[in-house]
Amino acid sequence: MASKEKIAHTMEFPPPTPQPNVYPLSWENKTNKLQEVWEASQREYWDPEKLPWDTFNVEKYTWEQRESIAYWWTILSVFDASAPPVFAAAFIKTYEVHEEDVVRRCFFSVTRDEQNHEQMCGMAITKLLEHPDPLTYVPKTDIGLRLQKNAKWLYYNGGRYWDGFKTAVPKYSLAVLFSSFLMGEMAAATIFHQMAASCNELVFKEGFAKIGKDEGRHMAIVLTLMERDYPALAQEDKEVITKQIRAGYLFLSAVLFEPPEEFWDLPSDFIANQREGEKFAREAGFAIPEYETKKENWKKAMLNLKGVLAKYNTDFPAIPEVGITGKEISDVDLDDIIPVF
Ligand SMILES: [Fe+2]
Ligand SMILES: [Fe+2]
């Protein structure tokens, strides 16, 4: 039927609207636990611009240190700058599938928080480099030059994943997407609490503490929804989830640990350059964890996740890199993953 054809004069009530229709005219709430998380998100909302930036004197650092710290924020941005559109897409999906009102609000809060995290990355980088873009910045030191090459490769790799995510969102249920979100949130909460505890620079300490708190709420949202949906999960969904966890491990290792070769397409001097940059940053009081600590933390986060999935009889993938046994997953490609940060 042509949409312009008027029908209102031919019947008393309109025909049913084809579903899924993007707007639910309904504000039903069943998952009451989420109301508390939503209220916390309103209470804990913060503005990156209002952090104590005036106490941050970049001049007390050498250019090697500035470029190395900015590089860390750049790695984080490869993940955090994609979080706003990724969660915005999931937020739209909560409307399309007519999720509960409180679920829609929670996803709105995550999208808003992630935008803050992205702003924070931008402000830190811009201050440190006196330039708003780490890829077009002209490095001043040899390590800065090599780290920029690293950044370009990370950016290239990260750029391959948006198309995959866009196809995944309509294809999978929110329940399947949650496992990937949880993976990212767990990783994020781990790293930010740690950075907040050991960084010297006040503006970073405060920023990390706030971001860590946000990530904790994101984790609570996902865990609550898993509790609601996972007991009734289909076997085929469980298989997708197991694969996604392995993909998420490989993807997020670039920021939480070190990027695995089988997944990331990177030059052979990448790791050496990154480790050298980390040394400069640590010297400056920017507490990037050492290799063994990173590995321990990442393992702990994976074991937590394994514990969660075991409750719902969902296989966990083998992660030999950190000594976790499980189901062997081999054919993982950037094009079909949905992890987010
Ligand atoms: Fe985040
Ligand atoms: Fe998050």
- Residue 130 phi/psi, 5° resolution? 55, 35
Tokens of 86: 């990724």
pLDDT value at 126 more than 80: yes
- Whether residue 22 is contained in a domain is answered as no
130 exposure class (CB count in 10 Å sphere: 0-12, 13-18, 19+) = exposed
pLDDT of residue 140: 98
Q: Which ligand is nearest to the CA of 207?
A: 1
**Low-confidence winner among 6-10, 98-102, 333-337 (lowest mean pLDDT):** 333-337
Place of tokens 């931008």: 122
Domain for residue 1, yes or no?
Answer: no
**pLDDT tens readout for residues 171-211:** 888 888 888 888 888 878 888 888 898 899 999 999 999 99
CATH number at residue 104: 1.20.1260.10
For residue 19, what pLDDT is reported?
82
Q: Tell me the pLDDT band of 15, cut-offs 50, 70 and 90.
A: very high
Give the integer Cα–Cα distance in Å for 168 and 163.
Answer: 9
Please report, rounded to a whole number, the percentage of residues in the chain having pLDDT higher than 70.
96
In the structure encoding, which two tokens stand for residue 139, read together? Answer: 């490095």
Residue 212 in this model has a pLDDT that exceeds 80: yes
* Ramachandran angles phi, psi of 327, nearest 5°: -75, 130
Q: From the CA of 221, which ligand is nearest?
A: 2
Domain range holding 114? 58-336
Say if 169 falls within a structural domain: yes
Instruction: Return residues with CB closer than 5 A to ligand 2 (ion).
Output: 215, 218
Residue 80 Cα to ligand 1 middle (Å)? 6
> In sequence order, what DSSP letters do the residues of 272-331 get, joined into one string?
HHHHHHHHHHHHTT--PPPHHHHHHHHHHHHHHHHHHHHHTT-PPBPBGGGTB--B----
Distance from the CA of 113 to the center of ligand 2, in angstroms?
Answer: 7
Instruction: Please give the distance, rounded to the nearest whole angstrom, from the Cα atom of residue 290 to the centre of ligand 1.
Output: 22
333 or 248: which carries more pLDDT confidence? 248
Q: Specify the number of domains making up the chain.
A: 1
